[in-house]
């Protein structure tokens, strides 16, 4: 009888520690994922610094951010964007542009701004990927 109670207590002890370990693993994964997302977001912000003109500056208005603005206030401040683009950059049609023929992001949009009638799909025979070719 004592052996059965000991085994039950041991199982209960191990079960509670396994659950605690699982929760710690989940917390660790969550923290690592958050740090990874935060890091990539920060890296993107640093790479995009002063690579396009400030909207206020383009419209001839005073920029509310002044010297702290992350956008360029003149062509002399413009920097070249990073050479390596995201692998999915401009690989899908912009929903806003497709539906409304307008996108508030303009040239800065991450999606394709072309009329569908100007393009056709070409399915590569050697791979399952789709590519765009202009007619």
**Would the pTM count as exceeding 0.75?**
no
pLDDT value of residue 66: 93
pLDDT value of residue 73: 93
Phi, psi of 63 (to 5 degrees): -80, 130
58-116 confidence digits (pLDDT tens): 999 999 999 999 999 998 998 887 766 677 888 899 999 988 889 988 888 889 988 65
Distance CA 86, CA 41 (A): 13
Task: Indicate the pLDDT class of residue 44, thresholds 50, 70 and 90.
Answer: low
Question: What is residue 132's three-state secondary structure?
Answer: strand
pLDDT value of residue 110: 87
User: Domain residues of the chain, as ranges?
Assistant: 1-48, 50-82, 85-135
């Amino acid at each position: 009888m004592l052996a059965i109670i000991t085994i039950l207590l041991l199982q209960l002890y191990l079960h509670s520690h396994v659950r605690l370990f699982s929760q710690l693993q989940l917390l660790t994964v969550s923290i690592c994922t958050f740090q990874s997302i935060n890091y990539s977001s920060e890296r993107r912000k640093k790479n995009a610094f002063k690579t396009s003109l400030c909207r206020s500056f383009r419209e001839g208005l005073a920029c509310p951010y002044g010297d702290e603005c992350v956008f360029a206030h003149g062509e002399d401040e413009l920097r070249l964007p990073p050479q390596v683009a995201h692998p999915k950059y401009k690989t899908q049609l912009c929903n806003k542009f497709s539906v409304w023929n307008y996108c508030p992001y303009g040239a800065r949009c991450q999606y394709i701004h072309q009329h569908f009638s100007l393009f056709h799909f070409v399915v590569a025979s050697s791979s399952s990927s789709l590519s765009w070719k202009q007619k």
